[in-house]
Amino acid sequence: MPDIFKKKIEELLKGSDVKINGKRPWDIKVYDEKMFKDVVLGGSLAVGDAYVDKRWDCKDLSQMMTRIFQADITNKINVNIFSIALWLKCNIANLQLGKKAYEIGERHYDKGNELFKRMLDSRMTYTCGYWKNAKNLEDAQGNKLRLICKKLMMKPKMKFLDIGSGWGSLILYAAENYGVEATGVTVSKEQHDLNKVKSKGLKVNVLYKDYREIHGQYDVIASVGMFEHVGPKNHRKFMKKVFSLLKPDGLFLLHTIGKNRSTTSGDPWITKYIFPNSVIPSAKQIAKASEKLFVIKDWHAFPDTYYAKTLQAWRDNVKKNKKYLLSIGYDERFFRMWEFYLASSQASFATGHNHLWQIVFAKPKHHIGYESVR
């Protein structure tokens, strides 16, 4: 019986030029052939679980995953009971409401500041860098922060709100370089506590809140790498909230990963282990959510290679700091999980399955002469 499942996987892999127990860096080395049945029945969830359990391995995981994405194999194996159950769960319940809105902070961003300090750039910017004329990750992230501030036409004393402010890279950069009064909002306790320390002496306010709990009026608003956690059921509510917080002549910049088609659920493995309750939006979903509220002044699609390069830099940093991270409690199983997450994400951008968009919104009848910034 196991041979039937192995043949099924071999058949699926033909279009990718990935071989089982081959000798090339992107070939798969299988240690437990029972995994073939699990993968056929369990899809991407079983693939990731088997890798973390070291039932299979690969010398160049990113190259292998790139070939898998190019052959569109993930869509062929993901029609199973687990993906169907996740789809039903996402469509019946609102998984980003109430206490669940804080789950992403607890389960992902609170994995430890030490991990992210050593994985990210010096400002701890956990989103795609802007690699135009950049020689390294530090330059790329600095470029991105400067680009956002320019797109928002920031000026001294403006009130700036960052929804999903992460480890404070944008609010600190904007306060230091543009003289704005910045407010950052996060659902991560680890981020909130560190940002309180980092922002001393600056006109920066850090809040531990869900976006639905924010009040006030702001000249400019940004949301960078957070909209993926909002969920399709809440896209419209999010846009309405931003609309209520933004002054009539203000600008709003949305920086988000985007995908080619509209869905209501995420990848089963990523949803279970990395980003709970998260769904990458499509262009259609974003446009529909903002309709009759905002007008779109600019839609900037970064080259897909930019996020692939960013993810490669993060992988290199994790590898370089592995010995230290092991010494403070992260184990080999965690590193296999984290590598699978980063390598598969890198492959999704390298093959154009995912994209990075920066979209500038304004309220109707304002910023008629807005000129795009690149």
- Same-domain check for residues 71 and 191: no
Does residue 292 sit in helix, strand or coil? coil
3-state secondary structure of 219: strand
DSSP string, 236-250: HHHHHHHHHHEEEEE
Residue with structure tokens 């931003």? 242
pLDDT tens series, the chain, 374 aa: 458 999 988 988 988 999 999 999 999 999 999 999 998 888 888 999 999 999 999 999 999 999 999 988 876 665 544 444 444 444 445 545 666 668 877 888 888 899 999 999 999 999 999 999 999 999 999 999 999 999 999 999 999 999 999 999 999 999 999 999 999 999 999 999 999 999 999 999 999 999 999 999 999 999 999 999 999 999 999 999 999 999 999 999 999 999 999 998 788 899 999 998 899 999 999 999 999 999 999 999 999 999 999 999 999 999 999 999 999 999 999 999 999 999 999 999 999 999 999 999 999 999 999 999 99
Domains of the chain: total: 2
Both 224 and 130 in one domain: the answer is yes
Looking at the fold, whether 353 and 242 belong to one and the same domain comes out as: yes
> Do 166 and 59 sit in the same domain of this protein?
no
- Looking at the fold, whether 24 and 108 belong to one and the same domain comes out as no
**Residue 40 confidence (pLDDT):** 87
Domain encompassing residue 60: 2-79
Could you tell me if residue 263 is inside a domain? yes
pLDDT of the residue at 230: 96
Instruction: Let me know whether 222 and 344 are in one domain.
Output: yes
Residue 290 phi/psi, 5-degree rounding, is -95, -10
Q: Is residue 368 part of a domain?
A: no
User: How many beta carbons lie within 10 A of that of residue 307, not counting itself?
Assistant: 23
With CA atoms as reference, report the closest residue to 202 among 177, 167, 176, 228.
176
Write the CB contacts of 284 (distance below 8 Å, at least 6 apart in sequence): 262
Same domain, 7 and 140: no
Q: What is the pLDDT of residue 92?
A: 47
Residue 374 domain flag: no
The predicted pLDDT at position 55 comes to: 97
Asked if residue 58 belongs to a domain, the reply is yes
Is 315 found in the same domain as 213?
yes
Q: 276 Cβ partners below 8 Å, 6+ apart?
A: 95, 103, 104, 107, 108
Query: Does some domain include residue 94?
Result: no
